[in-house]
Chains A and B, each alone.
Chain A
Amino acid sequence: MSKGFLLIAHDTEETAYGRLSDLTAKLIKKHFDLPISIITDKFTKIDGDLYNRIVIKNIGADNHRYDMLSNKKVKWRNTDRSEAYDLSPYDRTILVDSDYLIQSDNLKLLFEQGIDFLCHNTMSEATGTGQFQNDPLLGSARIPFCWATVMYWKKSEYAESIFTMWKHVQRNYDYYTGLYNLNRASFRNDFALSIAMHMINGQVNHKRFIPWDLINIPIASEVIGLSNDELVYTYNSFNPNNGQTNLNVHLLPKLNLHFFNKINYERVANELTR
């Protein structure tokens, strides 16, 4: 039964997601002896040698998100994640965001358990600055929040059903975000996946999630470098709205980290893969 990692990268004018994916691929290779595939488009620049399979797709509809650092709306091409099931060449796949810093091999456990689809439900913010609400339930409907940042699936009827429903929710996003009373400002895979999972699981809350937190580094924080050994970081937290920098310095023990600040991710991942 084949196993492997899958990445998705579509460059935008503001962010070279292909370059971020290359760094993530290097970190995967550092901790796993598994093949890596990427879903991308012909305009995105990637290092093809890092991937066992490259799936070229047309760029989907542009989405937008507010970027706190530049204080403007930026492009975000995130609409083909729901197709990952069909496009993955593996029987068992782990998909991670291109800004997910892998510092351990703990994701290997996902391949060794029996549930056919897993993602994160709970998260922890590594900075403690309260920039995220750790609410495992979403919106006023209080359905389990599903982070699409890290996902594991095994080719199976159950996993395929989730992705089929995800695509349906995506096509009818306005209707479903209205039904579940969610903010519909821009398309969010997390929301579409949460709704799809809720429906496929018989609209019953359950506990079949990755049994540890997704660790987020919010955008208003900056990891400033390595210290002592490769497993320890120090960082500043800063407020981009008023330019204030506090000097909080913390350690981040070999945790896998999801960065919201893409520039910072690139610098840190570069340092780790050097």
Chain B
Amino acid sequence: MDIKELKELNSWHFDRQQQLVNLKNRLSQSLSFAFNDGLFIADQTLIAFINSAKVRNLTEFYILDSLEQPIHITDIEDFESKAWDQNQKALNEYFLAVDRLNKIRRRPDL
């Protein structure tokens, strides 16, 4: 591989990584949702937390949102449903975008 090709390869990887960064930024925005005046990130941690409350048969609980506000959750089913919907909608979009990126083999396709 000559220096021109190496430079091209380096640029290709730079482009690809930057696209991933931008996709992750989009994912981070897409995972946000509002509930009971709180702003939450619908990630795996939140969903696991809600699930643990359900396993304990709780009917309500308190949680810190992403702005560090304490939020009182009284409708756990609705909260879980919103978190799951937001998570899967965002992840589906991210999955498709990353899949498309992974299939690109030649730099001009970027």
The answer to whether A and B interact is yes
Write the residues of chain A forming the contact surface with B, with a CB cutoff of 8 angstroms: 104, 106, 109, 112-115, 118, 124, 126-128, 206-209, 211-213, 215, 234, 246-255
Contact residues in A for B28 (Cβ distance below 8 Å): 212-213
Q: Which of A113, A215, A249 is in CB contact (< 8 Å) with B25?
A: A215
Docked complex Cα distance between A251 and B30 (Å): 17
Is B60 in contact with chain A by the CB < 8 A criterion?
no
Closest chain-B Cβ to A225's Cβ sits at a distance in Å of: 14
Write the residues of chain B forming the contact surface with A, with a CB cutoff of 8 angstroms: 11, 14-15, 17-19, 21-23, 25-26, 28-30, 32-34, 37-39, 41, 65-69, 97, 110
Nearest chain-B residue to A251 (Cβ)? B19
Give the A-B pair count, Cβ closer than 8 A: 82
- For the complex of A and B, the 6 pairs showing the least CB-CB separation, nearest first, are A112-B34, A114-B37, A128-B18, A211-B66, A113-B39, A253-B26
A interface majority secondary structure: loop
Docked complex Cα distance between A250 and B34 (Å): 31
Q: Which of A109, A127, A207, A208 is in CB contact (< 8 Å) with B33?
A: A109
Nearest chain-B residue to A115 (Cβ)? B67
Nearest chain-A residue to B28 (Cβ)? A212
12 A-B pairs besides A113-B38, A250-B110 with CB distance below 8 A are A112-B39, A113-B34, A114-B37, A114-B69, A118-B67, A124-B21, A128-B14, A207-B67, A211-B41, A215-B25, A248-B14, A249-B15
Pairwise interchain contact A211-B39, C-beta atoms closer than 8 A: yes
Q: What would be 30 A-B contacts, judged by CB atoms less than 8 Å apart?
A: A104-B29, A106-B30, A112-B34, A113-B34, A113-B37, A113-B38, A113-B65, A113-B69, A115-B67, A115-B69, A124-B25, A126-B18, A126-B22, A126-B25, A207-B66, A207-B67, A207-B68, A209-B67, A211-B32, A211-B41, A213-B28, A234-B110, A246-B11, A248-B14, A248-B15, A250-B19, A251-B22, A252-B22, A253-B23, A255-B29
